Amino acid sequence: MSTKHIVTIEIGTIQTRALLGTLSSEMDGGIVVKAIAEAKTAGVRKSEVQSAQSVSTTVESVIEKLAKKSRTDINRINIVYSGGNLAGTSIFGKARIHNPNEVVEEEDMETAIETMRETPTISGRTTVEEMKINCVLDGIRVVEDPCNLSASELTVNGIRTHVDTNSCRAVVDAVEDAGYDADTVFTAACCAPLGCTTLGQRRNGVLVIDLGAGTTSWSVSRNDRITAVGHLAVGGDHVTNDILCAFHTGTEESAAVLKHDYGQATLEGIDPTTRVDVPIHIGKKMTVNLKALTTVINARMDETIRIIHEELETKNLLENLGAGIVLCGGAALLKNLPALVTAVFNGMPCCTGTLPSLNLPEIEDDPARIRYATLYGALLRAAHNETEKEDVMHSGFSLLRLFKRSGDHR
């Protein structure tokens, strides 16, 4: 029985987190999470590296903690990336079916995929992932698996996620400067659905919005495949900044605690006379009006969600979302946020996602455990990549049929 350790790290704007999982040949591609570690991030703003040295130090500290907890030597790390103005582009490839029976064969699939991958990249951008969405026969019939079906032409539709090259490179360099090999880069938008939704939700069509501290990313999944992704460089950090700016709470920490303890996304049920204490204000005692605090938060969240709604509406992505909207990430914990999202999306149901049990005592009872969803999703994807290497026939998560490993960031 062979055992492999897989590590994923998410260098967030506020916190850097890492997960270590063990993959055993006996577990049929399954992964057991062994340890988690986290530390406050230094040198990152809006998910972009501001100080390479500080980020390296943070990575080193988190991975050392993880190694200590799991009693494992760690050399290779998978990275979850949420900056670099992530964007998704539709790509496709075609193949003429030349065999006498006009039946699609594996070879034709490979040709179509190869053509799809040849779609030129945008200057200054780096491809992170390329994923299949569906196959179309003769431009009409959409099929799951085209092999052995008769047709004269095969089209493979896919999505390519890409990021700003230099921004992404800065993260990879920071990990390597900390003394570790950067293995694969995943985008947060493509990892979040695996960490916080069920297979049923992904099959029925779901919009996952990952509200991080520095950025907000979203992805639409249908038939268990990601069909669109997007990104907005606004996150929980902006809410904190708005509070700090409005009430002069003195420190970022006090504004953040005010947001966590009293913040909510809608003004419903707020007593306009209620005042709340600013928790760690330096100097004299201070209180703020709860309605004013909520107005500041509501304005920011409403704007963020509306921008996403507008983008999805423009791209005609709001149809066939049978499972509605699922929120994850630290900012998803804001009280009443699902209600606000439902209101902005004209009544579409919304809930906060659920992270499966990871059997880690330190986070098992944590009400804010949804913030680990993206990291866990990345661990599942990395595990899938590993099993795919050993056994190419293993299907794993159909969502993760990557045609190309995302190692071309250098």
Partner 1 sequence: MNETAFVLVGIGGAGGKIVNTVAETNASGMRAVAIDTDFTAVARLGFCQQIRIGSTRFGGLGSGGDRNGAAMAFDETHATDTIFNDAQVAVVVAGISRGTGAGVLPKILRNAAKRNVKTIVFMVTPFSFEGIALTRRAAEVEQTLAGLGDIRMVCRNEDLCPLADDNTLKDAFDQATRTLADGITLIWKMTGLPGYINIDFATLATIIVNGRGMCNLGVGIGTGPTRVKEATEALLGTTGIGLGNKLNGAQAALVGIIGGDDLRLTEVADVMARIGSALSMETPIRMGTVLDPTIGSALHLVVLLFREWHPLSEADAEENEEDTAKDTESRKAIRYVAPSHQKTSSARRKIYNNRFQHSAATWVNGENLDRPTFLRRKLHIDVT
Which neighbouring-strand residues pair with 165? none
- The residue (of 115 and 289) whose beta carbon lies closer to partner 1 is 289
Whichever of 10 and 48 has its CB closer to partner 1, that residue is: 48
Nearest to partner 1 of 248, 394 (CB atom)? 248
Report how far residue 392's alpha carbon sits from residue 403's, in angstroms, rounded to the nearest whole number.
Answer: 12
Residue 293 zone, left/alpha/beta (φ > 0; ψ -120 to 50; rest): alpha
Least distance in angstroms from the C-beta of 120 to partner 1: 20
Smallest distance from the beta carbon of 32 to partner 1, in angstroms? 38
Q: Report helix, strand or coil for 113.
A: helix
Tokens of 337: 């946020």
CB of 310 to partner 1, least distance (A): 9
**Which amino acid, residue 100?**
P
SS3 (DSSP) at 150: strand
Which of 7/312 has CB closer to partner 1?
312
* Angle of the 236-247 helix axis to the 252-262 helix axis, nearest 10: 110
Between 288 and 328, CB nearer to partner 1: 288
In 268-405, alpha helices (H): 290-314, 337-344, 361-364, 373-390
User: Degrees (nearest 5) of the Cα angle 341, 134, 403?
Assistant: 100
CB of 255 or CB of 355, closer to partner 1? 255
* Contacting residues for 393 by C-beta, under 8 A, at least 6 apart: none
CA distance 54 to 60: 10
Between 51 and 134, name the residue whose CB sits nearer to partner 1. Answer: 51
> Residue 285 corresponds to which tokens in the numbers above?
């005692």
Give the shortest CB-234-to-partner 1 separation in angstroms: 5
Residue positions counted in the chain: 410
| Cβ distance to partner 1 smaller for residue 20 or 312 | 312
Count CA within 13 A, CB hemisphere, residue 5: 17
Q: Which of 11, 394, 392, 375 is nearest to 194 (CA)?
A: 375
Minimum Å gap between C-beta 143 and partner 1 is: 38
- Complex with partner 1: residue 231 or 384, whichever CB lies closer: 231
Min CB(242)–partner 1 separation in Å: 4
Q: Tell me the backbone φ, ψ of residue 22, rounded to 5 degrees.
A: -115, 135
Least Å distance, CB 89 to partner 1, is: 19
Q: How many CB atoms sit inside 10 A of residue 346's CB? A: 9
Q: Give contact residues for partner 1 (rule: CB under 8 A).
A: 45-46, 48, 50, 232-234, 237-238, 241-242, 244-248, 288-289, 291-292, 295-296, 299-300, 302-303, 307
Residue indicated by tokens 């493979």? 156
* 3-state SS class at 130: strand
Smallest distance, partner 1 to C-beta of residue 302, A? 8
Q: How far is the CB of 325 from partner 1 (least distance, A)?
A: 20
